[in-house]
Amino acid sequence: MAVSSIPDARNGTAAATRGNARDRALFVNFFRRELTTRYLGSVTGLLWALLHPLALLGVYHFVFTSVFRTTGFAGQSFLAFVAVALWPWLAAQEALQRGTVSLANYAGMIRKVAFPHEIVVYASVSATLALQFAGYLAVLVVLRVFGETIHFEGLIVAIPLWVVLAIAVTGAALLLSALQVFVRDVEHVLMPVLMIFMYLTPILYPLTLVPEGLRPWVAANPFGWLVGRLRDALLEGRVSFEWMDGVAAVVALALLFAGRAVFRRLSPHFEDFV
């Protein structure tokens, strides 16, 4: 079976170059559109992206320091301790949720125009992550201004970790979005699963508060590992890479390629089901 791509497929390399340029242009178009249509429509605009995590942070602060009076944040304030971990989690969660349903928003195009469908998922995930990362930096600055100990040199480690997170989230979003086209339940199952996963991850509490017997299980959570690394870097100022960072990068890449393989298997059939 030989299907030529559009435009010209007679000259392989020329077509590939032209195809790549087109795909990049499409990505930029979708990415920009994700940012503008998502926030232009709402009254609070771009502010909402920052407001949501801030409100959550405020509520958690109230519940955990005023109601439960939790202590033992390794000498850190609760706000800084949670903020450093909460943002990447919310970023991953939102990117997964939006990425999973992103293809439905482009249903009309998928049915009538020839283009690589995965660009839709890339644009959705990267727009969400870019926005949340900007919010993350802003919050770090605000925390520092209010006298919290934030080690900005820790970004040397934190930024590559965000990249690893982005790769893993993209892989998972590719997988879930492809499945969502055929089985609409994915979207509904994802929500509670993410909720449960969040409370099983040491985001709102330190690992040291987990009972001794359960600790290895909680520690095995890859997102828990990521959160720990971010805290080490940004709150403790430990700027050094470990061999685990490399393992994480490899695992994230494996997830990306697996997700993409599934996506590409299923995408020729999207037109009929989306």
Partner 1 sequence: MTDLHGIGTRNSAPLLSLVDVGKDYAKVETRGGRLRLVFDLLRGHGAAHVFRALDGVTFDLARGESLGIVGENGAGKSTLLKIIAGVIKPTRGSVEVHGRVGALLELGSGFHPEYTGLANIDLAAALLGLAPSEIAAKRDEIIEFADLGEHIDDPIKHYSSGMVVRLGFAVATALAPDILITDEVLAVGDESFQKKCIAWIEKFLAEEGTLLLCSHSMYHIQKLCRHALWLRDGHVERYGPAADVAQAYLAYHEEKSADAKAPIAPAAASAAGVYAITSLALTPGETVAQGDTLTIRGEVFTPDGRVPVVLVGIVRADGTPVYGVATDMDGCEPRQLDLQRYAFALTLPGLALLPGKYVVRAHALDPEGVRLFDHVERPLVVRGTSRELGLVRLPHQWE
Chain contacts with partner 1 (rule: CB under 8 A): 1-10, 18-19, 21-22, 25-26, 29, 33, 37, 106, 108-109, 111-115, 179, 182-183, 185, 262, 265-266, 268-269, 271-273
Q: Taking the complex as a whole, how short is the minimal distance between the CB of residue 112 and partner 1, in angstroms?
A: 4
CB 86 within 8 A of CB 56: yes
We find the least distance from the C-beta atom of residue 113 to partner 1, in angstroms, to be 4
Report the residue number, 108 or 192, with the smaller CB distance to partner 1: 108
Nearer to partner 1, 69 or 112 (CB): 112
> Min. distance of Cβ 179 from partner 1 in angstroms?
6
DSSP class of residue 269 equals G
Q: Which is nearer to partner 1, 179 or 239 (CB)?
A: 179
Residue 111 token pair: 């049915």
3-class SS string, 192-238: HHHHHHHHHCCCCCCHHHCCCCCHHHHHCCHHHHHHHHHHHHHHCCC
CA distances from 184 to 104, 110, 123, 152 (A): 10, 17, 21, 42
Q: How near is the Cβ of 272 to partner 1 at its closest, in Å? A: 6
Q: Work out how close the CB of 267 gets to partner 1 at its nearest, in angstroms, rounded to a whole number.
A: 10
Closer by beta carbon to partner 1, 169 or else 274: 274
Choice between 5 and 70, CB closer to partner 1: 5
Could you give phi then psi for residue 126, rounded to 5 degrees? -70, -35
CB nearer to partner 1: give 68 or 184: 184
Return d(Cα 267, Cα 113) in angstroms, integer: 13
CB of 2 to partner 1, least distance (A): 5
Euclidean distance between the first and final Cα of the chain, in Å? 24
Handedness of CA 34, 37, 39, 42 (dihedral sign): negative
